[in-house]
Chain A
Amino acid sequence: MQTRRETLKQSAVVAGLLASAGLIPQQAAAYEKVAFDAKSVADVTKALGAGAPVESKDVTIGGPDIAENGAVVPLTASTTLAGVKRMLILVEKNPAAMVAMFNVSDAVEANFATRAKMGQSSDVYAVAIMADGKAFFAKKEVKVTLGGCGG
């Protein structure tokens, strides 16, 4: 015997499955899924068609030395280099390294800020991908006292 509550729960699950199955193919074209699934910094730049990243002092990563709450870590990425195509923010020890990717146009400065979730203390990276495919990065260690996943 199935209660009404169980029936409702099951139909909600099925509806969710249908929705996700139907929607994913439409979005796959533009979204850099491979890059967002990549585990390491080098894999991310490779997935985006750029070379191995080189450390550069012209790229800046900003963030706290110690983050009390891993669910909300303010991070900034900026560069003074000319000809930047993309700015990335990455957290090395997250399940997937890439947090955000900003496509830089002539009308905006290569200077972005956002907030990220971090599961544990880790190095965070700002990566600038240039129009010619070169990649430059800066990194910084952020210690997390309370992880984004309760740890």
Chain B
Amino acid sequence: MADPMRIRAQAAGDKATVRVLMSHEMESGQRKDSAGKVVPAWYIQDVSASLNGKVVLTAEWGPAVSKNPFMQFVVKGAKAGDKIAVTWKDNKGDSRTDEATVS
């Protein structure tokens, strides 16, 4: 199981800026190890975010997203106290969900 995500959601007016830092290797499948073998790709494919249980954003990522990925987005209609949950799923079927409260 991967390490927890760090999620920060800050409300400003009637919207909230959400910043997410995930912990993932994001191996591109392009690199070779010391023996010259290609290191198999291992990266997050699907990301989704929800506000109070309702999905507001889905994203698909390729292997070119950096290691320990960062993502920022703006949710409309979110106010302090609301719950933001973010889920990712990688190409090996691993997934993780973390939740944060809008401040």
Contacts and interface: CB of A to CB of B under 8 A. Distances in A.
Contacts of B62: 36, 96, 98-100
Given A36-B62, A105-B57, A116-B66, A27 B91 contact: yes
Contacts of A116: 64-66
Interface in B52-102: 54-67, 69-77, 89, 91-93
A11 to B, nearest CB: 16
Contacts of A102: 57-59, 73
Contact of B64 (A27, A31, A32, A117): A117
A131 to B, nearest CB: 16
B58 A99 contact: no
13 contacts: A20-B40, A23-B92, A27-B91, A30-B46, A36-B62, A71-B66, A73-B66, A94-B64, A100-B61, A101-B59, A114-B66, A117-B28, A117-B66
Interface of A: 16, 19-20, 23-24, 26-27, 30-32, 36, 71-74, 76, 91, 94-96, 98-109, 111-119, 149
